[in-house]
Structure 1
């Protein structure tokens, strides 16, 4: 019996049909974002907002996410720089030798993608994408390039928000970062009340296991597999240049400095010195709960691993194209978010509050987890903020949790787990990975859609079931707050 015959035919057929549908009908990521703006604007006007107000909010919000946009761009750049450093590139090549079958390779990529995303979703995307390319160079694996690319995306589409890079958990752990109104509602929620709850850890483990099972069941092999050679834009050859040679006296001074480790050593002393002070002066959960610190850590580590400024700068240059989608699309999401939250009807109520009121009105203590999970997932489909929209949702979501005496930390995790669901079919966060693989969103969405079919009932069920094991704790204000 060959490998194809051994696969459950129904699961492979489902994945291939979804992939074929996505390849034919799924739009480019920018088109997807533009459609989202139009839909949100139409709903806002349908509830009474004037066209002039909607246009004004769109323009005001267009540049509102520039700081966050740059942070996201640096997440991609930092992850790319680390993942393409010579030592890491060698590690990726070694890891790529381990799988023995194409289907096993897909599951291997999924496991490493989800595991690394719990530390950094940016590194996960780049690391897993480069691993797929290294595996694709092994022609004997007969690995489906689309399924492997979808597996590389599972970190961001499944569990990233349950890990250390959760923006919502980071925000709630740092009172200085919270808007004053939110602090009065929630108090301070340390990681021990959010991502480090045993319920959260268990949910992440279950989601990883379920995702791996779906990968195993749906990865095409044999004649059904489409390898990298079937895609015109796919380039799997090694792009990372060898470590630059040691400096010599014949080089010009500027070139000598580019190829010398001297400046790298001095900058690394400063950078890692500051990081050491951060982790010494602050509790661990506070020090790591800062996106700027994450970016600084990855850039500093990337610089050290490249060992030469020339190698580091070349890696940054290769990383920048992968940020193009983030830079051009985030303004649309900023405009969309402001329409959603500030374009009000005659009664002074914005569309986001109408949505919140709708879901909160039909919830009670027992149904709160499922209702808010659905709400967060639906809204996240239109505003894929990477956790940033928690600032918008948190005041009224957490107030509802207080009124229903529902565990506040688990409410954050409801948001985190549910927000990852639309990522499985929303192409925005795929952009850096697509740039590395030379694929389009429609090539991956067929496989990630099957994951979505499994994840939706599983996530909502776990949110409800595990939430029943927690007891409400009143908000804890910081000392002097």
Structure 2
């Protein structure tokens, strides 16, 4: 990455403080050096998905599929995931709009008055961001970042701003995929969102068989407790803490002020009644959705989920103009989703649609290999480890699921592994590389005014503990579940 003005002096200041770091500092600095290396040598995440397209296409050709078949499946698949792509973009937008509303900002300011120490402040950020991640990973990122900034405005805490930033990222690195915005669980619960070629393999898997399994809730609870403990214990003491002021970050509160309407037409942009009427109309539809079915089924529909957040954002921002400003600020964070998800859909189509002369797809070849190297007992460890490694190179829960699902779910069927638990194996393992991958950090880093290298040292500590704990739980709890064949809509 290019060197920005002031980076050299800032780096020198941080190093001088880090020399005084306590026992946890050595491991944190190792993580920071690793991230600095990754930022220099790793390209944008788009490059990884582009390479994946080429590799899968070459694999299909090597499997005997004709060039025309590979090209056709690529083009046919490219647009097959547009509804889900937009849905995931709106998860980000909805979370941002709610988190930046005046009432939520007031809540953040009240929470920021609670801690009495810097370590307590970091623990609070970790708690808040992981709890909010169960509702929405988009909300988690923005809420956690704004809370860290609010706490940094209390100099008497001597809070390490880097540790607080890492704590604000824990929702994405630990618990989001176990919650309501889990991309894989959402996909599997919504047959209209699934690519047609994947549905026969997996069937429809409701939330009751994925994120609301007691086994899933147990994993989420354990991860939550462990993560908060590590965040608190690894936060530097006041002697060695690097504050926002040390880093040269301006954390002063900046209220978005609306200029009074200059033209008659602009008065409508400031008219709360429009927001209220929209909330009433949207709320009527949402109420009907929850009244006609179980709330678990209702909330598992991404359209309902996203409209709920947007409606809440309309209400909390009160005026149309303020709501539109929040949406405009949220849209840049969706760029990676919008351009990469269609390519993921193409990869899934090539995997499952490009056939050789024997009628065999590349997905079937990989699934047979997966089965040959695994047993029912080893499948959770094998799939979990594989998903975690692949997740560093393909940092997208929903997109990566479309790559893996065709063959890992086919393997789960053949090995008689509970299909809902296979989804949760993916969810828990897929979140692990987020702890050291800067892709999904971007919206948070923009709020914090930091670089990935500033916070990854602390999140790397989390990864060292999470990895063995998660893999063990996925393996042990798999024995408590029984396989059921795919259920078609």
Per the TM superposition, whether the score is higher than 0.5 is yes
Taking structure 1 as the reference length, the TM-score comes to 0.85
Which residue of 2 is the match for residue 269 of structure 1? Answer: 280
Deviates more, 1:33-42 or 1:381-390: 33-42
Output the aligned Cα RMSD: 3.5
Structure 2: unaligned runs, 5 residues or longer: 1-16
Change in CA separation of 1:399 and 1:72 when aligned onto 2, cut-off 3 Å: closer
Displacement of 1:47 in angstroms is 8.8
Which residue of 1 is the match for residue 456 of structure 2? Answer: 445
- Alignment of 1:390 onto 2:401: yes
- Alignment of 1:436 onto 2:447: yes
Change in CA separation of 1:444 and 1:341 when aligned onto 2, cut-off 3 Å: farther
Q: How far, CA to CA, are the matches of 2:373 and 2:32 in structure 1?
A: 36
Which residue of 1 is the match for residue 149 of structure 2? Answer: 133
Change in CA separation of 1:237 and 1:347 when aligned onto 2, cut-off 3 Å: farther
Change in CA separation of 1:396 and 1:311 when aligned onto 2, cut-off 3 Å: same
Contact 2:146 2:447 in 1 (8 A): yes
Displacement of 1:239 in angstroms is 2.8
Which residue of 2 is the match for residue 407 of structure 1? Answer: 418
Contact 1:150 1:444 in 2 (8 A): yes
Which residue of 2 is the match for residue 368 of structure 1? Answer: 379
Change in CA separation of 1:168 and 1:327 when aligned onto 2, cut-off 3 Å: closer
Contact 1:12 1:219 in 2 (8 A): no
Structure 1: unaligned runs, 5 residues or longer: none
Q: How far, CA to CA, are the matches of 1:338 and 1:257 in structure 2?
A: 46
Which residue of 2 is the match for residue 154 of structure 1? Answer: 170
Q: How far, CA to CA, are the matches of 1:39 and 1:179 in structure 2?
A: 18
Which residue of the other structure, out of 18, 23, 26, is the alignment partner of 1:10?
Answer: 23
Deviates more, 1:191-200 or 1:168-177: 168-177
- Alignment of 1:213 onto 2:229: yes
Displacement of 1:227 in angstroms is 1.8
Map 1:5-404 to 2 at 5 A. Answer: 9-23=22-36, 25-27=38-40, 31-34=44-47, 37-38=50-51, 41=54, 45=58, 67-179=83-195, 182-232=198-248, 234-241=249-256, 252-327=263-338, 356-404=367-415
Contact 2:344 2:400 in 1 (8 A): no
Q: How many residues are treated as equivalent by the alignment?
A: 469
Contact 1:144 1:227 in 2 (8 A): yes
SS at match of 2:44: helix
Which residue of 2 is the match for residue 425 of structure 1? Answer: 436
The Cα offsets for residues 263-303 of structure 1, whole Å up to 9 and x where unpaired, read as 11111111111111221233322211122322211111111
SS at match of 1:387: helix
Taking structure 2 as the reference length, the TM-score comes to 0.84
Q: How far, CA to CA, are the matches of 1:329 and 1:182 in structure 2?
A: 19
Contact 1:61 1:338 in 2 (8 A): yes
Q: How far, CA to CA, are the matches of 2:196 and 2:78 in structure 1?
A: 25
Q: How far, CA to CA, are the matches of 2:203 and 2:352 in structure 1?
A: 23
The Cα offsets for residues 429-470 of structure 1, whole Å up to 9 and x where unpaired, read as 112112211222222222222211211111110001111112
The Cα offsets for residues 302-342 of structure 1, whole Å up to 9 and x where unpaired, read as 11111111221222233334444545665776677677777
Contact 1:76 1:126 in 2 (8 A): no
Displacement of 1:98 in angstroms is 0.9
Q: How far, CA to CA, are the matches of 2:264 and 2:456 in structure 1?
A: 50
Q: How far, CA to CA, are the matches of 1:264 and 1:352 in structure 2?
A: 48
